[in-house]
Structure 1
Amino acid sequence: MGYKNIRTSDISGKVLDDDQVVTVVVRGLGKLFDAMAEELEGLKRMNNVVEIELRHPDGKTEEFIVSKADFDKVVTPEVLAVADNIRGRRNGFKPNGD
């Protein structure tokens, strides 16, 4: 006996072929759902923006979007050139302390 998965759009309820499924991740709300690309056409893309996440000492985080122009006024290319990557170890970290 076999099983068949049937994917449907969470927006319209339409049955989707595997090559039609777009998984939408809503980061600020911690949610995800499936849809068709055509169903998302009404979402206008914003260009020249930077997504920011602030991690506060008390563990609180906040995410927001700023214009690239405003970001560039505060954060210089020199700061970004030496900034750590979000994956892996921080620059200069040595696990054994040497």
Structure 2
Amino acid sequence: MAIVSQKVSDLSGKQGADKQFAAVVVRQHPDIDQPKALDVLVNELSAFKDISDDLVVLEIAMPDGTKRDTYVPLEEFNKAATDMPQVLKDARGTRGRVPGTKVAGGNGS
């Protein structure tokens, strides 16, 4: 006697081979307090409309040291300033020195 395990989609209950499944991690949702993993058939992924091309993800650091991620539609983000593409182009990067700063002595010493 053999034990056979079958993988089934958490969305539809349909069976499939391991190579037909994608692992989907739900990181944030109003109904959960921790990430949850779903087994989803690859052909069922179209149920999740990807809006990432029209989404801006912001990390906001408050003066008290707390941080949070905010998700904003691109159209709304661009309304925050008259010329948002230029504002972003001129903004400082998050790595390295702040633009305009110089190393003491100018030779790295």
**Partner residue in 1 for 2:90:** 78
Q: CA RMSD in A?
A: 3.1
55, 64, 79: which one aligns with 1:49: 55
**Deviation per CA, 1:45-65, whole angstroms, max 9, x where unpaired?**
223211234455465x54332
Structure 2: any 5+ residue segments left out of the alignment?
A: 30-34, 98-109
Q: Partners of 2:61 and 2:7 in 1: how far apart?
A: 36
1:39 to 35, 44, 49: 44
Aligned residues between the structures: 83
SS at match of 1:76: helix
Q: Does 1:23 pair with 2:23? A: yes
Cα separation, 2, equivalents of 1:55 and 1:36:
38
Letter of the 1:78 partner, please give it.
D
CA–CA distance in 1 between the matches of 2:60 and 2:26? 17
Structure 1: which 5+ residue stretches go unaligned? 85-90, 93-98
Cα distance change of structure 1 residues 33 and 12 upon mapping to structure 2, 3 Å threshold: same
Partner of residue 13, structure 1: 13
Between the aligned residues of both structures, percent identity stands at 25
Q: Which secondary structure does the structure 1 equivalent of 2:91 belong to?
A: helix
What is the distance in 2 between the residues matched to 1:11 and 1:48?
26
The whole-number CA distance in structure 1 between the counterparts of 2:88 and 2:19 is 42
Q: Name the SS of the counterpart of 2:25 in structure 1.
A: strand
TM-score, length of structure 1 as denominator length: 0.56
